[in-house]
Structure 1
């Protein structure tokens, strides 16, 4: 029994350099334009039997704009960044350079008082592994790019440090196929 999971990265809520940790901002105008442009290619994914999203405003708005009427899943929340929440990487680096270095180097480190990278990847992977498995079942989930990265690292059983080498752009999609124990990446899966 296999399930297909398509992950869609939420549209942007801010310019890349203005991105903040654990950002709850809604879609910005550029994000709405991106959704309108991408909608024809992404709308067919809405036929999935199960449609989910991260609980963030921009993930919900992206899913709603695509007509998915997704169910928010707390397990698809962005990484809990503790006291760094709401700050940019540049701001945190200026205030806590040693903490940022530890966070980037050690996946078990949580100098911000929130969730470690390893705990985040494990949480997202746990969600992935507990999707209802029905032969040929299809799932679509709109999530923050960080969540998509974590899911890929987990599914491929890659070292946590791989997370920093995965780039997920707004509205990009990735397909995974699995049975709740083993996952494989589907490249070029038809939309």
Structure 2
């Protein structure tokens, strides 16, 4: 028995370099425009039996704009960045360069007082593993790019450092198939 989980990265809410940790800003003008351009390929994913989203404003807005009528899942929240919440990586690096270096090097560290990377990946994996695995069932979830990266690292049983090497663009999709503890990445032709 297996399930098909399609993860859709939320549309953007700011320019890439202006992204802030644990940010909950709504979609910006460019994000709304991107959703309109991608709708023809993403709207059909709403036929999934189960439709979810991260509880962030941009994930909810992306899913709603695509007609998914999703259920917000707290387990799909972005990584808890503690006292770094609301700051850019450049701002934190200027104030706490040693802490940022430790955080990037050790997936068990949480110098910000929030959630360590390893805990974040495990939390997202726990959500993935609890999806109902009836043959042929399908799930779509709109989530923050960080959540999609964490799901990929978990599903592929990759080292946590792999997280830093996965680039998830707004409105990109990833399909995972399988069941608890046994996931495969499914690359599909969309033409």
When normalised by structure 1's length, the TM-score is: 0.99
- The aligned counterpart of 1:29 is 29
Question: What whole-Å deviation, never above 9, does each CA across 1:149-185 have from its counterpart, x for those lacking one?
Answer: 0000000000000000000000000000012120000
Whether 1:12 aligns to 2:12 is: yes
Deviating beyond 4 angstroms after TM superposition, the runs of 4 or more aligned structure 1 residues are none
The aligned runs of 1:1-191 (5 Å cut-off) are 1-188=1-188
Change (3 A) 1:167 1:101: same
Change (3 A) 1:78 1:153: same
Give unpaired runs (5+ residues) of structure 2. Answer: none
8 A Cα contact 1:50 1:140, kept in partner: yes
8 A Cα contact 1:175 1:189, kept in partner: no
User: For 2:95 and 2:179, how far apart are their aligned partners in 1?
Assistant: 44
Instruction: Using the TM superposition, give the Cα deviation of residue 32 of structure 1 relative to its aligned residue in structure 2, in angstroms.
Output: 0.1
User: For 1:13 and 1:50, how far apart are their aligned partners in 2?
Assistant: 25
CA RMSD of aligned residues (A): 0.9
When normalised by structure 2's length, the TM-score is: 0.99
User: For 1:144 and 1:159, how far apart are their aligned partners in 2?
Assistant: 21
